[in-house]
Structure 1
Amino acid sequence: MDTLPTELFQEVFAFAVGSPKDVHLHSDIAPLTIAGILAPYRLAAVCTAWRAICLQTAELWAYVQLGDCAPTHVSHYTALHLSRSAEHPLDVWAADFASVADDHDVYYALLEPIIENAYRWRRVRLCFPQYAPFRRLLAPCSSMPALQSLVFITGSVRSNKMVGDEDEEPEEMDILSNSPRLTYLAKHVLSVAICTSMNRLQYLSVSLRDTRRDTFLWRALAMTPNLKELEIYFPFYSGIEADPELHTKEISLPQLHQLSVYGFPPENETPWIDKLHMPRLEKLVCSIESCDYLAPVYAKVRKEVRHVVITSVETRPGGYFCDLDARSLDRLSSLDTLELRGITQLMFKEHNQSFFDHLIGGFEDETRTQPAWAAGFEHLILRDCTVYFNACRMLAHFVNMRESAAREGGQPFDFQVHDCMFLATRAQEPVAFEPVRSHFANSMFYGESPHSYYPGEEDDEDDEKYGAKWSVELLEELILRGDQPESDDEQPEEAATTTSSQTANSLPALEPIEEEPECNERSLAEATMPTLLATINASPTDHAVPV
């Protein structure tokens, strides 16, 4: 190894350390694990030769991840990385430092070295605490020629409303006037409005307080002709106001191919999206709460949109129980993919049952009017959903019907289920999914009796009799309550007469479940920094470790 050139070692080390993983198809970054943070220090501690190579490789130190831990540790770590990375472009991921959020001087001192190197920023994610000194923090950020991705997020919200007073106007700051490479911007700091030209921007994500005061979005859209994806979060509280005279001019977004809308749009506002001209829009993503808000737009984009995603808003559990309206999708004549994502209580409400009845029934009942997109519909995808059995039967029948038609030369069909839970009313009824079990990835089936069906596992003799596997979680609950599993009229007689004691005796011993320690951003940082500092202060050995 001593004969290998230094440049090869540098390439190998850079590959081993890696760059922060993208969490979006563009450039937003996710935090590294402890192993990722320690990687350059461990490489430098192998031997003196490797240490010299690591110190010469600025790329290894060009990622700064700041967690909410002791300020002295943060300052030491930041100074070390800024020094060793020389003039290499920086990737920065910073937490909101909730423990010092009320002390603006301490908070500013932690971020000041990072802010002073804004001209080196490449991909940056800053999470600000509420009431942070934005003007003081961001004033030096006027020139960022290497910047490709910028994410501003407000954390540590301590009120029922979003950041700032209801009568407080957002502070406008021209901080991106010299960022010619910027293609990704996510602004979720509600008290700062960025006013600048962004004609190269391709991805924009914005949180709004209300459409009357947050005019940043409308100005930005008028200056982003190359925008490909637009993501908008409406506030999750009532009482917002809308200005009917605000959206009077049509804005053209000729390159936009994906639009995402989340939250609770104003009830008294004409959809502003109706003023957008989106000739290439292919994918529409919306939360359940905004489905009705977007309904008038479907007719306008009926020939363009091919993929619709309906999701839930995790920050507001009430959103799980909102109604789905399949009829609003009827206008999308080119729709070929429908994806339901993160929706619990699916089919719990009668109205949501009619969603599937309308969605699926039109394909099998010739007397009913089929949706406009029925002829080209190819993909139905469920992700992280909880589905009750009244939908299970319809889905299984629907999939079998479409696949049979495809085998006979009809329209190809793709049905995918990922990480879902299906709740049946009787133990035997999950057997209905046996013909389509290959579609279910990491999904589980539960019934009121202690039978659970795990796709992808071989059934033993008893399981073949009942068409189900034991659910450890459900069994544990039954044992603790002393309940007897409910029998089914259609089960064999010997199964129907099983007593609770016999059932309990036939169960495998349950191992005690150990609770995993709570892991949050602060605990991760506190666990990382002492190890990191010990590694920094360690002396490299004189003998290389075999590779």
Structure 2
Amino acid sequence: MLSSLAADRARVADLDAQILFLERSLKELKSQRQPVLERLDSYKYPVLTLPTEITTEIFMHFLPTYPLCPPLTGLDSPTLLTQICHEWREIALGTAALWRAISISSLMPFEHQFRLSSMWLNRSNCSPLSLDLAIYLLRRTELLSPLFLHCARWQHLNLRRLSIPLLRMIQFPMPLLRSLDLFLTNDDPDFITAKVVFPEAHLLRTVVLNDHAAKVLTLPWVQLTSLTLHGVYPQECVPILRYTSNLVHCKLVLVDDDGDVTIPDITLPALQSLELTGYAEGYLKTLIVPALRDLRVSESFLDPECIETLAAFISKSRCQLQELCVTDTAAESRDSYRDGFPLITVSFGRSTLDS
């Protein structure tokens, strides 16, 4: 028993010696650690030494070119810039232009998207806004309210599968609106008689509409410089094109109703670029475009005598056509276009149905 007691005392003494050694070692390590920490605290990463203006410019190039919209979250979102460090977070949150383009889609729950979009609206301050909204996926229209409150800042508006009742909800003055891309559904019983006017859109210049939107929407047509109509009948273009005297670019995706309808001639004196896609034989003859320089036309728009039809169109318009692209044409007939128009740059391709 005495030997065991002596052994325990020796063991305790040994442990005390080890503890003392470790405490002295720990104290020494702490003393060595402190100056290292001080040097780290004083170190500045080169990127953080840049002037705020340069960092802001780098942040702007991180995003898609406005008015294209980045996602609300993820690696391609400006929210990523707020998660790198405190300094970058402060710069990102203080740069209103990073938050001015908002996209709503089906990639996450809508309640979460609209909470995020409300934050973006606040961060964007007074900047003009670009909105890309897949509203057909919504079930609660009240979620749009935060966006409606900022309609005076809307500059670029892309609305997909919008219903007529919801369209009526946004008939507010939009003094900054420059472009409108609108695809309407016809699930409203009053669709045929419904007429919707966009008031106070004095800066609107670029418009893309599907057939339903073209039927019900009244816009300041005369001030437009670019117009795209999707899936419309030739006769439906008449009440619109007769007022678009300042158009510079026009794309028509037409459908033929096979009816015996007489289409009057339409003169577009400023039009420089024209694309005709779809099917409406003979429609080209109804257009008089003296300023036209670039024509992209599906062969389906031409009579069987394609070269003669194009030559008559150019002669009637008295235009100086420079670029001609004939789409959906057989390879064996291409030489006839080149031979028929030796002074014009002729190319061939496929019809583009997207705006």
Q: What is the rounded CA distance, in whole Å, between the counterparts of 1:126 and 1:52 in structure 2? A: 32
Matched, 1:232 2:268: no
Structure 2 counterparts to residues 125-524 of structure 1, below 5 A: 125-129=158-162, 132=163, 134-154=164-184, 163=186, 168-175=191-198, 177-188=199-210, 190=212, 193-207=216-230, 218=238, 220-233=240-253, 262-264=254-256, 267-272=259-264, 274=265, 276-287=266-277, 289-294=279-284, 296-297=285-286, 305-311=292-298, 325-331=306-312, 332=314, 334-341=320-327, 343=328, 346=330, 353=332, 355-356=333-334, 358-359=336-337, 363=339, 371=340, 373-374=341-342, 376-377=343-344, 379-384=345-350
**Could you tell me how far 1:94 is from its partner in structure 2?**
1.3
- Asked if 2 retains the 8 angstrom alpha-carbon contact of 1:265 and 1:293, the reply is no
Once the two structures are superposed, residues 354-384 of structure 1 have per-residue CA deviations (whole angstroms, 9 ceiling, x without a partner) of x446446xx4xxxxxxx4x44x23x222335
Q: What is the rounded CA distance, in whole Å, between the counterparts of 1:326 and 1:125 in structure 2? A: 39
Q: What is the rounded CA distance, in whole Å, between the counterparts of 1:64 and 1:11 in structure 2? A: 19
Q: What is the rounded CA distance, in whole Å, between the counterparts of 2:189 and 2:259 in structure 1? A: 19
TM superposition score normalised by structure 1: 0.47
**Matched residue type, 2:307:** A
Unaligned runs of at least 5 residues, structure 1: 21-28, 156-162, 234-261, 313-318, 348-352, 364-370, 386-547
Task: Tell me the SS of whatever aligns to 1:308.
Answer: strand
Change (3 A) 1:83 1:146: same
Change (3 A) 1:49 1:340: same
Which position in structure 1 is the counterpart of 2:14?
none
- Asked if 2 retains the 8 angstrom alpha-carbon contact of 1:96 and 1:128, the reply is yes
Change (3 A) 1:128 1:324: farther
Once the two structures are superposed, residues 164-193 of structure 1 have per-residue CA deviations (whole angstroms, 9 ceiling, x without a partner) of 589952411222x21221111222261662
Cα RMSD (Å): 3.6
Change (3 A) 1:88 1:46: same
Once the two structures are superposed, residues 61-99 of structure 1 have per-residue CA deviations (whole angstroms, 9 ceiling, x without a partner) of 11111111422222222122112112211111112444x
**Could you tell me how far 1:326 is from its partner in structure 2?**
3.3
Matched, 1:95 2:134: yes
**Matched residue type, 1:228:** V
Which position in structure 1 is the counterpart of 2:63?
17
Q: What is the rounded CA distance, in whole Å, between the counterparts of 1:286 and 1:91 in structure 2? A: 28
Q: What is the rounded CA distance, in whole Å, between the counterparts of 2:244 and 2:62 in structure 1? A: 37
- Asked if 2 retains the 8 angstrom alpha-carbon contact of 1:94 and 1:126, the reply is yes
Q: What is the rounded CA distance, in whole Å, between the counterparts of 2:64 and 2:57 in structure 1? A: 10
Once the two structures are superposed, residues 230-273 of structure 1 have per-residue CA deviations (whole angstroms, 9 ceiling, x without a partner) of 3334xxxxxxxxxxxxxxxxxxxxxxxxxxxx33265412223x
Q: What is the rounded CA distance, in whole Å, between the counterparts of 1:201 and 1:181 in structure 2? A: 9
Q: Percent identity?
A: 21
Which position in structure 2 is the counterpart of 1:8?
54
Which position in structure 2 is the counterpart of 1:45?
83
Q: What is the rounded CA distance, in whole Å, between the counterparts of 2:278 and 2:212 in structure 1? A: 23
Once the two structures are superposed, residues 308-344 of structure 1 have per-residue CA deviations (whole angstroms, 9 ceiling, x without a partner) of 32238xxxxxx89x97833322323555433133x38
Q: What is the rounded CA distance, in whole Å, between the counterparts of 2:294 and 2:152 in structure 1? A: 39
**Could you tell me how far 1:137 is from its partner in structure 2?**
4.3
- Asked if 2 retains the 8 angstrom alpha-carbon contact of 1:291 and 1:324, the reply is no
Matched, 1:114 2:104: no
Change (3 A) 1:219 1:11: same
Q: What is the rounded CA distance, in whole Å, between the counterparts of 1:165 and 1:4 in structure 2? A: 56
Once the two structures are superposed, residues 151-175 of structure 1 have per-residue CA deviations (whole angstroms, 9 ceiling, x without a partner) of 11136xxxxxxx3589952411222
Task: Tell me the SS of whatever aligns to 2:261.
Answer: coil
Task: Tell me the SS of whatever aligns to 1:227.
Answer: coil
Once the two structures are superposed, residues 389-446 of structure 1 have per-residue CA deviations (whole angstroms, 9 ceiling, x without a partner) of xxxxxxxxxxxxxxxxxxxxxxxxxxxxxxxxxxxxxxxxxxxxxxxxxxxxxxxxxx
Matched, 1:79 2:118: yes
Which position in structure 2 is the counterpart of 1:526?
none
**Matched residue type, 2:113:** V
- Asked if 2 retains the 8 angstrom alpha-carbon contact of 1:17 and 1:39, the reply is yes
**Matched residue type, 1:337:** E
Q: What is the rounded CA distance, in whole Å, between the counterparts of 1:147 and 1:310 in structure 2? A: 30
Change (3 A) 1:72 1:154: same
- Asked if 2 retains the 8 angstrom alpha-carbon contact of 1:115 and 1:137, the reply is no
Q: Identify the structure with the greater helix proportion.
A: 2
Structure whose alpha-carbon radius of gyration is higher: 2
